[in-house]
């Protein structure tokens, strides 16, 4: 899969490596894949494992737009947000959420489908130590 980064200064070659627009190999740059960027909880229902993708994130993140148009079922997340304390199974007190909407709505993506797309390349990445040098080189190439 081909791609570009830094306004076209970097280009992903057919060999899967990243090159500057002048053809020079840039070994410090590697692929950022969906699996590197997104980590969502899973749940199992009737023997099928689903990945829970928050609806709000699927709406906001262009890398997840395929989720919005996939006609996937939605539900409330099976995991509690950090602000909602977990209860002991021995705690018999009634528990009311301060905000009923505090548990996010999620798309349920079958894990078998998620696995097919999670290795997709979505951008370029490099170590923070190389950032200034790579940005300077991109500016140089793009100013030509």
Coil, helix or strand for 16?
coil
Which of 98, 47, 53, 48 lies closest to 78 in space, CA to CA?
Answer: 53
pLDDT for 82: 52
Say yes or no: 56 and 7 in one domain.
no
Assigned token pair, 83: 């602000």
Say yes or no: 52 and 109 in one domain.
yes
Domain around 9: 1-37+121-144
Give, in order, the Cα–Cα distances in Å from 72 to each of 35, 63, 116, 127. Answer: 20, 16, 16, 36
Q: How confident is the model at residue 80 (pLDDT cuts 50, 70, 90)?
A: low
Say yes or no: 47 and 111 in one domain.
yes
Say yes or no: 100 and 55 in one domain.
yes
- pLDDT tens readout for residues 13-68: 999 899 999 999 999 999 888 777 888 999 999 999 999 999 999 999 888 889 99
Query: Domain total for the chain?
Result: 2
pLDDT for 123: 83
Measured distance CA(64)–CA(54) in Å, rounded: 10
Rounded to the nearest 5°, which phi and psi values hold at 48?
Answer: -110, 130
pTM tops 0.95, yes or no: no
């Amino acid at each position: 899969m081909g791609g570009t980064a830094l306004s076209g200064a970097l280009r992903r070659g057919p060999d899967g490596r990243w090159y500057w627009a002048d053809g020079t190999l840039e070994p410090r740059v590697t692929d950022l894949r969906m699996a590197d960027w997104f980590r969502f909880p899973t749940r199992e229902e009737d023997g099928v494992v689903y990945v829970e993708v928050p609806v709000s994130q699927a709406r906001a993140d262009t890398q997840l737009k395929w989720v919005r148009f996939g006609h996937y079922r939605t539900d409330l997340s099976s995991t509690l947000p950090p602000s909602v304390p977990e209860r002991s199974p021995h705690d018999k007190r009634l528990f009311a959420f301060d905000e009923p909407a505090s548990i996010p709505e999620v798309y349920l993506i079958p894990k078998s489908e998620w696995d097919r797309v999670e290795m997709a390349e979505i951008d370029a990445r490099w170590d923070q130590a190389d950032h200034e040098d790579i940005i300077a080189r991109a500016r140089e190439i793009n100013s030509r």
